[in-house]
Structure formats: C-alpha cells, structure tokens
Structure 1
Amino acid sequence: MKIKSIIALLFLGTAICLGQDDERKAIDKVLDSWHQAASDADFEAYFDKMTSKGVFLGTDATENWQNQEFRAYAKPHFDKGRAWSFIAVERNIYSHDFDNSAWFDELLDTQMGLCRGSGVVQKVDGTWKIAHYVLSIAVPNENVAELVALKKENDSTLTAKLKAKK
C-alpha cells in the first residue's frame, strides 16, 4: 500500500510540474507574441494580448495608461507602421499555482537600450492575457546620480503638481 501511495504521489508531482511548465511556455508565448505584434505594428494582435482592463505603465512618470487610454496613445504609432521593438533577452515567470494569475519580469533589448518589463498575466477564458505591464529603463548604478541630476527639475515640477491634486 505504501509503495502504491508513493508511486501515485510521484506521478501527481510530475504531472503538476509538467502542467506548470506548459503554463510557463504559454505565458512566454503570449509575451513574445505581444512584443512581436508591436514590432509588426499589428494593433489588433497587440491589444488582443491584454485584458480589457489592462494597464500599461511607461517609462515617463506620467504614463499610467488604462487600456483605452493606451490604445489611443498607441494607435497613431501603429498606424504609421512602426510601433516599438522589444526583444526579451531574459525572462522569469512566477506563480503560486498557475490557476488564474502569474507574474513576470524580463530584460528587454529595445531602441532605448536595456529596459526592464514586469507585470501580471491573468487567465481569461482559458487564455493568458497581460493585465498589468510596467516598463522601466535599466540604469547602471554608477549612472544614477547623473540621471537624478538630469531629471531633477522635471521631477520637482511634476511632484508639486501631484501634491497639489491631493
């Protein structure tokens, strides 16, 4: 009886690991095809990979776009036949159980140099979709002081405006 239980647990564990690997591959494919759709300026394919309430946070402090706002921003870029080109050079995908959500981070080769993307994917009707994406420019630690000085005036102005809204 013990041997049957152990064998059953081994098979179950293997099945769970294989299932999680399949989910990781599916998420990987969605993210790669999302980036490819932007490179191809395929507006419908790009936004089809996001949830209807998807959020995109860009590199500028003012870029907190809900799905419809992001569509409006992106449409002219896609219509010109050139959106942006991001190629993942490293990606990590995490989840507790791959039931309905997972999160990820990725290093990207872009026209801005190395960037970092991170976000959350949700399973919608059996398909993984991007619910939240954050894009940031990767800044080497030795260049942070220089960057902070460069953006100081703009940050001060924006911070004052945001504090005045509260």
Structure 2
Amino acid sequence: MKNILIFLTFSLILFGCNQKNEIKTLDLKTKSLHKKKISKVLKNWHQAASKADFNSYFDKMDDNSVFIGTDATENWNKKQFEAFSKPYFDKGKAWSFTTLERNIFINNTGDFAWFDELLNTQMGTCRGSGVLENINNSWKIKHYVLSVSIPNEDIEAVISAKKKNDSIFLKRFQK
C-alpha cells in the first residue's frame, strides 16, 4: 500500500510538472495570420489619421497605451494624446503616413507583437515602432514611437539646429 501511495504521489507530481511546462506555441501558419491582422490594424490606423477619423484612430489603441512623438516632450498616455490630437482631427486634417516597409514579430504564444516600419510622411522619411497586445482576439496598439530619420551625413547640422532648444529642455532634469 505504501508503495502504491508513493507511486501515485510521484505520478501526480510528475504529471503536474509536465502540465505547467507545456506552453502552447503558435505554428507558422497562425503567426502568419496574426501578422496579416496586425498589418491591417496598423494600415487602418494610419488611414484613419489621414481621413481625420478620430474615433477609428483611437479605437485601435488600448486604453493604457503610450504614444511617443518626435519632440522630446511628446510622451503621452492615450488621453493626453487624444487631447493633443483632437484639434487636428476636428479641422479635418490630421497627418498622413504611408508605410514603405514593415517588420512584424510575434511572441510564441501569440499574445503580443512588436514591429518597426519605415514611413513616408509630411516630415519626410520617418520610422515608427511599437508593441501590440492581443486582447480578446483583437490586436490593440499598446506603445508607439515615431522618430524622424536623419541621414548620418546630416546629423551635425541637426545637432546644431536643435542645440538651443535641447539646452532649455535639459534644464528640467538638472538639480
């Protein structure tokens, strides 16, 4: 009887450990479908801005998302970004970003993804990057970073052009 109890206890422990270690991994076909859905979300997000469709644009962002713009002061939660953006959308002219290329990566369980994209914008060539989360089988933007791309041969001129504003901005962080 004692041997049976030991065997059952050992079997339950072993079975429990195997259950905990089993992580569902997406197959390539499922990852490809997720990438298509994510690409569509991002395409529609950019199109909503170009059409000044405020609700459609912000519906693609999660309630606790973050948008980081090109200015050092532009680190907004969704409500702050909505407040900043509303006047542009209300005038019927927000911004227009056309994707030139996009790379999407998905974790093995399919609950979050990250991406980078090269964009044609009114500011010239920019780069966007971000994170999306799969919430109830719907991809939501959690974090987006927009940056202006600067050719290496032009960086000295840009550094010089922004030197005055940077010195004023950096005073906020000095003690």
Same fold (TM over 0.5): yes
Cα distance between partner residues in 1 of 2:109 and 2:91: 37
Provide the rounded CA distance (Å) in 1 between the counterparts of 2:174 and 2:40.
41
Give the alignment partner of residue 88 of structure 1, picking from 95, 99, 105. 99
Q: CA deviation at 1:98?
A: 5.1
Per the normalisation by structure 1, the TM-score is: 0.88
Query: Which residue number in structure 2 is paired with residue 48 of structure 1?
Result: 59
Q: What is the root-mean-square deviation of aligned Cα atoms in Å?
A: 1.3
Q: TM-score, normalised by structure 2?
A: 0.83
Percent identity of equivalent pairs: 52
- Deviation, structure 1 residue 106: 0.2
8 Å contact kept, 2:130–2:141: yes
Residue 31 (structure 1) aligned to one of 42, 55, 59: 42
Name the residue aligned to 2:158.
147
Which residues of structure 1 form unaligned runs of 5+? 1-12
Structure 2 unaligned runs (5+)?
A: 1-24
| Residue type of the alignment partner of 1:33 | N
CA separation of 1:22/1:98 partners in 2, compared to 1, >3 Å: closer, same or farther? Answer: farther
- 8 Å Cα contact 2:70/2:146 also seen in 1: yes
Give the whole-Å Cα distance in 2 for the aligned partners of 1:108 and 1:163: 35
Counterpart selection for 2:74 from 63, 72, 75:
63
Q: Secondary structure at the match of 2:174?
A: helix
Q: What do the CA deviations read for 1:11-39 (whole angstroms, capped 9, x no partner)?
A: xx9x8111100000000000000000000
| Whole-angstrom distance in 2 between the partners of 1:121 and 1:90 | 18
Aligned to 2:113: 102
Contact 2:31 2:110 in 1 (8 A): no
CA contact (8 A) 1:112 1:137 kept: yes
Q: Work out the CA distance in 1 between the residues paired with 2:174 and 2:103.
A: 35
Offset at 1:103? 0.3
C-alpha distance in structure 2 between counterparts of 1:128 and 1:147, whole Å: 36
Larger Rg: 2
The number of equivalent residue pairs is 151
Over 3 Å counting, the alpha-carbon distance change for 1:102 and 1:111 in structure 2 is: same
